[in-house]
Amino acid sequence: MSNATVTSTSRIESATIEDLTQLTELVMSLLGDEEDFIPDRHKQEHGLRLILEQPNRGRIFVLRTDHALIGMVNLLFTISTAEGGLCILMEDVIVHPMHRGQGYGSMLLKFAISFAREKQFKRITLLTDRIGAESQKFFQKHGFTFSHMIPMRLVFADEAK
């Protein structure tokens, strides 16, 4: 697999720091629809920058047309002792609202799965809205299944301030 996938009008490739503003907008639009998060431009930009500037943490792939960046997928790298190797935590599978329903989300997801297989990752884990039946069906269509594990979290809400 090369670093880019191309169709007649779109291509998937690694994001660059020059994409930071557009990536931030996409993540903010996603978080605006989530119950667990409040969009914060500074936080989203900082998180994206951490990945873009240190590729050993993960990869962000973008879907571009000749005119715009219209989607992204964020793959964070971690180690699973259960699987005995590297795994991916997939976040931020986003297609700009004006371009949804055209197969672009499937393109991004298939690219991410192909990347993980080629690089011999052991598993891809993702979190999706508990209420979002549509997104759950989308991921199930691409082979994802529900886990018996449930996510829990401890958020340190800007304690350093």
pLDDT of 47: 96
- Supply 17's token pair: 């720091």
For the ranges 3-17, 58-72, 127-141, the maximum mean pLDDT occurs at: 58-72
Model's pTM, two decimal places? 0.86
Residue 40: pLDDT above 50?
Answer: yes
Ordered domains of the chain (ranges, CATH): 5-141 (3.40.630.30)
As to burial, measured by CB atoms within 10 angstroms (0-12 exposed, 13-18 middle, 19+ buried), residue 82 is exposed
Stated as kind and residue range, the H or E segment containing 68 is none
Strand 58-65 with 69-80, pairing:
antiparallel
Residue 158: pLDDT above 70?
Answer: no
Using pLDDT thresholds of 50, 70 and 90, give the confidence band for residue 122: very high
19 neighbors 48 (Cβ within 8 angstroms): no
pLDDT of 53: 97
pLDDT of 2: 45
